[in-house]
Amino acid sequence: MRRDIQALRGFSILVVLLYHAQFGWLRGGFLGVDIFFVISGFVITSKLMEGEGTFGKQIKEFYIRRAKRILPASLTVTLLTSIFAILFLPAISRSRFSLEALSSALFSANLNFARVGNDYLNQSLDPSPFLHYWSLGVEEQFYLLWPVLFLLIYRKKRALLLPTLLLTAAFGIWYTSINPVSSFYLPFSRFWEFFAGIILAMNPQLYLSARFRKLGALVGWGIITFSVFWVSVNDATPGFKTVIAIVGAMVVLLSRVEVKPQFVLPWLGDYSFSLYLVHWPVVVFFLDRNSRLSGINKMEIIALSLLLSLALTRFVEKPFRYRKNLSLSLPKWGVVILVGSFLSYGALAASATSSVKFDKSVPATYSNGCHLNFGVAWPTKPCIFGDSTSSKEIILAGDSHAAQWFPALEKIAISRHLKLVNLTKSSCPATILETTRNGKFDSSCAIFQIKLVTRINLDKPEFVFFSDFTEYQYPLRKQIGSYEKSWTSGLSTFLNQISAPVIFLGDTPKPTSAMKSFSVARSATTLATRALIKKLGIAYIDTSSWLCKTTCSSTFMGVNTYRDASHISVSTADNLVKTLEAAVPFP
């Protein structure tokens, strides 16, 4: 194995590890995965070019090699992560984790995370310990197609490689611009990164001559190093700036020379796969116990991840990869996948069933299309609840932290014969701010905010209830001064356009763990919001006082207070109906 490739692997896993361990100065460490895809396309295609024999023989040999390389370590970590989640992570999340474990074992985690709209670059407090399996899903889905395409088409028609690279790159970057979260996970948005390595493997005439190799390697390493410091979560991924890291990796591969000093990078490359598999569950373990990682926590994450990767490589990865007595046929590998999937899913599902019952439900508006998802600018149907014939109307508007109050307001609307209109949208606060998702301007949110003002002023409701996630900082397209200054400026502009009576429900405290008591701590944005609302003469309700005194409990009136990392449970909202009703002069 070329040591420069191992060094490139080592660099990739190092920046991913440091990024996940929250070393803030490494803004674009997530690009390590993009570099992995380039390396993978290069190495796998180089192996395919060495193949001989019939089509069927080469396909069979390819998948057996992939199975020996990937399955033992990945399935072992999936199963161990399931056990780890049962022992150490909140029981309330086990049902969700069981589905994520199943999709990870079946190499479809990326499809699952795209389906639920999990924003990889803006994770909540309750991240999945299986999140990193998204990249294995992308890779294995690509390799379901590539060996067949290579043998039937591209091996003989290499002129198609460059057009394919350009077309898939254009598609991936375009799709990111319209659906950034899905594009991050879906394989078709990533194919061009594999083709960047493939085109080099199939065109050795592109390699740099001996005269320029060292210079080329220095340039390539400089480019990829620059990219991981310059690109950030506010940049679309995969997008135009991703090209920088891809080009840097291509130049390094073209140079074919090990540049000194590379320190421990080739050594890290030898353990990169195992290190990638084990490091993220370790990070999740520490995040579950610490609202913010300390310097010591970060060093512990690195040390423990390295130790586990050494053990996984020594006792699982290498034996199955190199020992002939551990070689299995494709049908037997299929059985291994099914058994691993069953055990990983079953362990979590069984523990979720046998553990204390938690209210993990979401407000009804999530399933009936009235709480808008990412990319949706406005509801396609009237979202009217309570007494739809009433002449007296109230409106609930804002992001998901407004939607969490829907169960309580619906009960009040029914009992008081009020018409309740729900106008809420995920990650879209009731304010005038240009937010971004996965580095791209969220145009659907901007449209929603404009239409929201128009709808409220046309309806002239008795009250409009606003609430926003102020214990969080939305990624903004433009920020003037501090975040809270930009926030209050946008909120003031928004509220001054509203002609109806407003009641602002202050944000609920953000827990440090979904199932642990925690001390009350209000963000600067929450405090600035409260001050602005009172200054404008608008009614402000401090909902935190309903849930907490000096500390907030993990349970409220016998049920879990929060259903996830920031939203109160439906049961909590139901139990606060009388409290909310007493605080507001409902008609």
Q: Give tens-digit pLDDT for 359-403.
A: 878 899 988 889 998 789 999 999 999 999 999 999 999 999 999
Instruction: Inform me whether the pLDDT recorded for 354 exceeds 60.
Output: no
pLDDT at residue number 421: 97
Among the residue ranges 241-250, 280-289, 458-467, the one predicted with the least confidence is: 280-289
Mean pLDDT of the chain: 92
Closest C-alpha to 20, from 127, 99, 138, 102 = 127
For residues 411-419, give the mean pLDDT. 97
| pLDDT over 70 (residue 268) | yes
pLDDT of residue 514: 54
pLDDT computed for residue 94 by the predictor: 83
CB atoms within 10 A of CB 131: 20
The model's pLDDT over 462-506, given as tens digits with 9 standing for 90+, comes to 999 999 999 999 989 888 889 999 999 999 999 999 999 999 999
On the question of pLDDT at 300 being above 90, the answer is yes
C-alpha dihedral over 176, 449, 113, 471, to 10 degrees? Answer: 120
Neighbours of 70 (CB within 10 A): 21
- pLDDT of 344 > 70? The answer is yes
User: What is the Cα–Cα distance from 11 to 33, expressed in whole angstroms?
Assistant: 10
CA distance 95 to 97: 5
> So where are the chain's domains?
3-354, 364-583
Pairwise CA distance, residues 521 & 557, whole Å: 22
Q: What is the mean pLDDT of residues 123-142?
A: 89
The pLDDT of residue 356 is above 60: no
The answer, yes or no, to whether residue 518 has pLDDT greater than 90, is no
Q: Is the pLDDT of residue 122 over 70?
A: no
pLDDT for the residue numbered 353:
64
User: What pLDDT was estimated at residue 29?
Assistant: 96
Is the pLDDT at 442 greater than 70? The verdict is: yes
The whole model's pTM is what? 0.79
Q: For 364-583, which CATH superfamily applies?
A: SGNH hydrolase (3.40.50.1110)
CB 553 within 8 Å of CB 561? yes
Under 8 Å CB-to-CB from 94, ≥6 apart: which residues? 85, 86, 348, 349, 351, 352, 355
pLDDT exceeds cutoff 80 at 159: yes
Query: What confidence category does residue 357 fall into, taking pLDDT thresholds of 50, 70 and 90?
Result: low
